[in-house]
Structure 1
Amino acid sequence: MKIAKPLFALLTLLLLTASVSANELPNIVVFLSDDHTLTDSSLYGSTDLQTPNMERIAKAGMTFDRAFVASPSCAPSRAALLTGLMPSRNGAEPNHSRPRKEIKKLPAYFQELGYEVVSFGKVGHYAQTPEYGFDIARHFKYHEDVAVPEALKWLKARESEKPLLLFVGTNWPHVPWPKAEDIDPKTIKIPLTHVHTPKTRAARAKYYQAIKTMDRELGEVYDLAYEKLGQDTLFLHTSDHGAQWPFSKWTLYDDGIRTPMIAVWPGKIEPGQRTDAMVSWVDILPTLYAATGQTPPEELDGRSFLPVLLGETKTHRDEIFTVHSGDGNNNVYPTRSVRTGRWKYIRNLHPEYKFLSHVTNVKKEDAYWPSWENKAKTGKEAARKVKRYLERPAEELYDLEADPSEQTNLATDPQHAETLDQLRGKLDAWMKEQGDQQKVYGEPTLLNPS
């Protein structure tokens, strides 16, 4: 007997839902921070900024030392998270762009299993958030900072028996940074990549204040999640990319793409664990889906790292690929990279372009970049850092074991020609597989205009 395709699909879905309902589905809570550089937290080595809630939560679960986003700007990073596909395949390449409508989004996977899928705050890219299909999407406008307290209020009052997948996205520490009320600028250690000026120190104090707010909100959401939802709750914290500092956001250096990630699941994830497994943001969707007992679709770019969480394996990926396609006319600088455990290869598709960004272009009263330019007029080291930010070679190669801050480009060193060639080949093959068109978005600024 032949069954019409729509009817067969409906029956399959009903059978799937019934089989899943027979088992206890875990609640899932994901807390996203916004523009947070991993090393700017005590959990990841900072000695001048304490993030006590990150540390407390890490003690209850697993900390990832090598988690990476797919792209270091907000919209493509979040689109990759919510589709399980890299930017070239989901269509959201430059900042402010959207994934294609026909692509299945994260909420749909879980709604089919009977979940209520809810979003508070910046989860998608601001007003794009409802387009992903959440059952509830609230307080997603730019720096709508009531989002986290409203999420807490909603969760406290929730009475539904349905399993819950809750995303809470704080706007911190995204700019504009708040006044530094309980941060002493004198205690701040200026990073190696920064130019030391009073403006830099003052800006970092405000940035630290924003991180403290994020850390507090993280703790509040974590505590209420387990108080309200019980122990069979998978909790995940991570950030969409690094902060709005030079050599961080909009770049493929580790300060731009390497991100905090902590996972807690009492009784499933051994507490107090740290892992070197390399994972990508595209892996989050299939991992959460696998945590419900399902098999993630093979057509996704992401792969479940649930076996890492459960202690069944210590490794996940051998390479991490990342892309950046620009941010309006403020940043027209497409780049691609491949990173292994030891090596990072970056390909700057148009080295004839000047690297500009909101850092260099936004000249507000408290902007720090003008102070870098002024110091570069007389200081050699400041001049080197400013020049390095604005001008990039076609290729960059870094030995991350010897040079974790990515200061010495080995791309022209004959001793590393074989490594360079291998990584070129890996990136070429991956870009071809992805259908990467290497498109330029926006109007570039040339280093040497004719």
Structure 2
Amino acid sequence: MKLVWMAGFVFLAFSSFGWGSEKDQKKPNVIYILADDLGYGDLGCYGQKVIQTPNIDKMAVEGMVFSQHYSGSTVCGPSRSCMLQGKHSGNTYVRGNGYLQMRLDPQDQIFPSALQKAGYHTALIGKSGLGCNTDDALLLKKKGFDYFFGFTSHTAAHWYYPPYLWRNTQRVQYPNNTQHAGDQYSSENVIHEALQYLERQKDGPFFLHLAFQLPHASLRAKEEWKAKYRPILKEKVLDSKEHQHYSWEREPKTTYAAMVSYMDHNVGLILKKLDELGLAENTLVMFASDNGAMQEGGHRRDSFHSSGELRGGKRDLYEGGVRVPMIAWWPGKIKAGSSTDHVSAFWDISPTLRELAGAEPQLDTDGISIVPTLLGRGKQAQHKNLYWEFYEGKGKRAIRQGKWKLVCLNTNTQRKPKMELYDLDNDLSETKDLSKKYPELVAELYKQMDELHTMSEHKKFRLAAEVLEQPKK
């Protein structure tokens, strides 16, 4: 697909899509569901052959499937930051995982606060995307969420039997939980809260960010879900070992498949609840994953071909690390059984949802509204390029422009990093490095990278060249 650059962000009138301008029309509700570390190939509608995901597959049949949708980053913290802020990782404050969180407004502003001003009740249920290792539950309220239930700390979200979760600024204690075992399975608590929230807010309009910790490690699933896969996988049970950071799982394949299917079951509960409440035709549901397939907690992404034909996974800037599944469902508004190869990214979510909500448009976004694609009306603007930077593993950067993808390695340690060039139209698996064949193109794309990058205000997230250029104190 050839990309055509349309300069600037064109804010389409809210009334042009048949709601909002008329007093008898309701603003649409929005549910944005985010899986944690789910691979591009982990869903049936994206080619998965073993793991069963009937509810998400049905959502795809009744909605729109995106084949070229990209996450904000290749790990959770910066990826979620890009989605909430409407910016790529060259312009955000949270550009990696660690002991940090978003700053108070007017810094690091996120789109739910704009939806609040447009009359929406806003909620985040599950894993917070406003920080990484923090227990600052008050931050959710300050940044634009009316209601919160779940994890503030990404490290705590590694475990499915936490000693507590947050409800707004109060801890909900689970005294019998020991991180790896207990009587309160966090994913059950999260979906229960989400269903109750829909009941309370059925009069709308509402925005619910439902951020599953599934299927990220530690590997933990209920027996009823593991039992479904034992006859299929016939996995040899491993010997027991002592738990380290992640739990030791004796049936890693069986458990991972069970976790994905349980997540799919929970998506089905959300869609069923919308039908029961009569909200389906006025609710946009979007489903995506925060980054590519993981290899943690005993799971190996090759066990289920989790990245599909894409190279790499989580912590890579190859396609397997940043290209993610994305499905949009809205009965009567989004054409059933449709698909798109439109190139989109997490930083498009903010301008898209602001437009649908009739909220104030974001002037400093790196994103483009995908409303024309979703509703099949108007001309869809295209990205000139997409950009990522990542600071683990000696540092990595990547840019996509049309069919071309430039990946840079060792950006934390070398002023002149290693560069690899790929033609995604003819080499989706990124097996043939063409950098030596097209040196002028490499130079041009690298120049664009520098134009897209702004020096981070956090010294942890600076490139080697910037560090070397800083005056000695």
Shorter-chain TM-score: what band? 0.7 to 0.9
1:188-267 to 2 correspondences below 5 Å:
203-228=252-277, 229-245=279-295, 247-267=312-332
For each residue in 1:25-66, what CA deviation from the matched residue of structure 2 results, as whole angstroms up to 9, or x when unmatched?
A: 111111111111111222112223332122100111111111
For each residue in 1:362-394, what CA deviation from the matched residue of structure 2 results, as whole angstroms up to 9, or x when unmatched?
A: xxxxxxxxxxxxxxxxxxxxxxxxxxxxxxx71
2:207 to 165, 186, 200: 165
Aligned to 2:36: 34
1:426 shift after superposition: 2.2
Report the Cα distance in structure 2 between the residues aligned to 1:423 and 1:238, rounded to whole angstroms. Answer: 28
Q: Are the aligned partners of 2:93 and 2:458 in contact in 1 as well (CA < 8 Å)?
A: no
Report the Cα distance in structure 2 between the residues aligned to 1:274 and 1:428, rounded to whole angstroms. Answer: 33
2:191 to 137, 144, 149: 149
1:282 to 338, 347, 354: 347
TM-score (norm. length: structure 2):
0.70
Change beyond 3 A, Cα 1:343–1:402: same
For each residue in 1:269-293, what CA deviation from the matched residue of structure 2 results, as whole angstroms up to 9, or x when unmatched?
A: 1111110001110110110111123
Structure scoring higher RCO (CA < 8 A, sep ≥ 6) equals 2
Aligned to 1:317: 383
1:102-141 to 2 correspondences below 5 Å:
102=105, 103=107, 104-124=109-129, 125=131, 127=135, 130-131=139-140, 132-140=143-151
Single out whichever of 236-245 and 142-151 deviates more from structure 2: 142-151
Report the Cα distance in structure 2 between the residues aligned to 1:170 and 1:424, rounded to whole angstroms. Answer: 36
1:262 shift after superposition: 0.8
Percent identity, aligned pairs only, is: 29
Name the amino acid aligned to 1:100.
Answer: R
Name the amino acid aligned to 2:386.
Answer: I
Report the Cα distance in structure 2 between the residues aligned to 1:113 and 1:352, rounded to whole angstroms. Answer: 46
SS at structure 1 position matched to 2:331: coil
Aligned to 2:426: 402
Report the Cα distance in structure 1 between the residues aligned to 2:412 and 2:204, rounded to whole angstroms. Answer: 52
Change beyond 3 A, Cα 1:20–1:173: farther
Report the Cα distance in structure 2 between the residues aligned to 1:167 and 1:351, rounded to whole angstroms. Answer: 33
Aligned to 1:299: 364
Change beyond 3 A, Cα 1:68–1:159: closer
Aligned to 1:87: 89
1:423 shift after superposition: 2.0
Change beyond 3 A, Cα 1:399–1:203: farther
Gap runs ≥5 in structure 1 = 1-17, 188-198, 327-331, 354-392, 445-450
1:227 shift after superposition: 2.8
Report the Cα distance in structure 2 between the residues aligned to 1:435 and 1:441, rounded to whole angstroms. Answer: 8
SS at structure 1 position matched to 2:228: coil
Change beyond 3 A, Cα 1:20–1:107: farther
TM-score (norm. length: structure 1):
0.73
1:333 to 394, 413, 438: 394
Q: Are the aligned partners of 1:308 and 1:316 in contact in 2 as well (CA < 8 Å)?
A: no
Name the amino acid aligned to 2:282.
Answer: D
Is it true that 1:268 corresponds to 2:310 in the alignment? Answer: no
Q: Are the aligned partners of 1:348 and 1:394 in contact in 2 as well (CA < 8 Å)?
A: yes
Name the amino acid aligned to 2:397.
Answer: R
Change beyond 3 A, Cα 1:406–1:159: closer
1:295 shift after superposition: 5.3
Name the amino acid aligned to 1:155.
Answer: Y
For these two proteins, the number of residue pairs brought into alignment is: 369
1:168 shift after superposition: 1.2
Change beyond 3 A, Cα 1:256–1:34: same
Report the Cα distance in structure 2 between the residues aligned to 1:349 and 1:153, rounded to whole angstroms. Answer: 45
CA RMSD of aligned residues (A): 3.2
1:266 shift after superposition: 2.2
1:267 shift after superposition: 2.3
Q: Are the aligned partners of 1:334 and 1:438 in contact in 2 as well (CA < 8 Å)?
A: no
1:113 shift after superposition: 1.1
1:349 shift after superposition: 3.6
Report the Cα distance in structure 2 between the residues aligned to 1:123 and 1:241, rounded to whole angstroms. Answer: 15
Name the amino acid aligned to 2:409.
Answer: N
Q: Are the aligned partners of 1:173 and 1:214 in contact in 2 as well (CA < 8 Å)?
A: yes
Report the Cα distance in structure 2 between the residues aligned to 1:231 and 1:285, rounded to whole angstroms. Answer: 22
Report the Cα distance in structure 2 between the residues aligned to 1:160 and 1:70, rounded to whole angstroms. Answer: 31
SS at structure 2 position matched to 1:167: strand
Name the amino acid aligned to 2:365.
Answer: L
1:303 shift after superposition: 1.9
Aligned to 1:70: 72
Q: Are the aligned partners of 2:29 and 2:205 in contact in 1 as well (CA < 8 Å)?
A: yes
Name the amino acid aligned to 1:424.
Answer: Y
Gap runs ≥5 in structure 2 = 1-19, 161-185, 236-247, 296-300, 302-311, 465-473
Q: Are the aligned partners of 2:118 and 2:359 in contact in 1 as well (CA < 8 Å)?
A: no
Report the Cα distance in structure 2 between the residues aligned to 1:80 and 1:170, rounded to whole angstroms. Answer: 17
Q: Are the aligned partners of 1:121 and 1:147 in contact in 2 as well (CA < 8 Å)?
A: no
Change beyond 3 A, Cα 1:258–1:128: farther
Q: Are the aligned partners of 1:345 and 1:397 in contact in 2 as well (CA < 8 Å)?
A: yes
For each residue in 1:132-168, what CA deviation from the matched residue of structure 2 results, as whole angstroms up to 9, or x when unmatched?
A: 3311101225243234332344135416634111121
Report the Cα distance in structure 1 between the residues aligned to 2:256 and 2:402, rounded to whole angstroms. Answer: 30
1:418 to 430, 440, 452: 440
Report the Cα distance in structure 1 between the residues aligned to 2:381 and 2:276, rounded to whole angstroms. Answer: 32
For each residue in 1:174-228, what CA deviation from the matched residue of structure 2 results, as whole angstroms up to 9, or x when unmatched?
A: 00123654334469xxxxxxxxxxx999644432222112111111112213432
Report the Cα distance in structure 1 between the residues aligned to 2:22 and 2:316, rounded to whole angstroms. Answer: 42
Aligned to 1:182: 228
